[in-house]
């Protein structure tokens, strides 16, 4: 769908709940986004890598993770909160992992 400049985008029921950026420059990215007002907390889940997490004003979780062989710098992880009853295909309430056409795993939280 092509939009002309000035066209408004209609609102959608889905909202971003998670955004994860993978980087080879973890501390530099933390400092960059920190300077923009994002307040990160250092975290580690089990044996996973040390990373930074922040909860933005709208409730979105924004995380910075070290890049790996599987998730290189520039890789993105996205999570969406959707109304499962109106999703196509319909989704039962709960967490679902889906793959988009480009092969990205998208975490879906259906209500």
The domain containing residue 69 runs over which residues?
Answer: 15-110
Sheet order of strands, 15-23 included:
41-43, 51-55, 61-66, 15-23, 76-82, 105-110, 94-99
The pLDDT value recorded for residue 79 is: 84
Q: Is 70 within a domain? A: yes
The pLDDT value recorded for residue 29 is: 92
Q: Is 3 within a domain? A: no
Please tell me the total count of domains within the chain: 1
Q: Is 8 within a domain? A: no
User: Is residue 4 very low, low, confident or very high in pLDDT (cuts 50, 70, 90)?
Assistant: low
pTM above 0.85, yes or no: no
Does residue 2 surpass a pLDDT of 70?
A: no
Q: What angle do CA 28, 67, 27 make, to 5 degrees?
A: 15
Q: Is 10 within a domain? A: no
Q: Is 52 within a domain? A: yes
CATH number at residue 63: 3.10.180.10
Does residue 85 surpass a pLDDT of 50?
A: yes
């Amino acid at each position: 769908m092509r939009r002309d400049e000035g066209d408004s985008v209609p609102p959608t029921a889905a909202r971003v709940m998670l955004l994860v950026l993978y980087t080879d420059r973890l501390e530099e990215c933390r400092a960059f986004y920190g300077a923009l007002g994002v307040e990160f907390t250092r975290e580690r889940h089990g044996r996973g890598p040390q990373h930074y997490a922040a909860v933005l004003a709208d409730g979105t979780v924004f995380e910075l993770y070290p890049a790996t062989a599987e998730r290189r710098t520039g890789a993105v992880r996205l999570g969406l909160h959707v109304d499962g009853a109106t999703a196509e295909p319909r989704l039962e309430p709960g967490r679902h992992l889906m793959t988009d056409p480009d092969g990205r795993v998208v975490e879906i939280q259906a209500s």
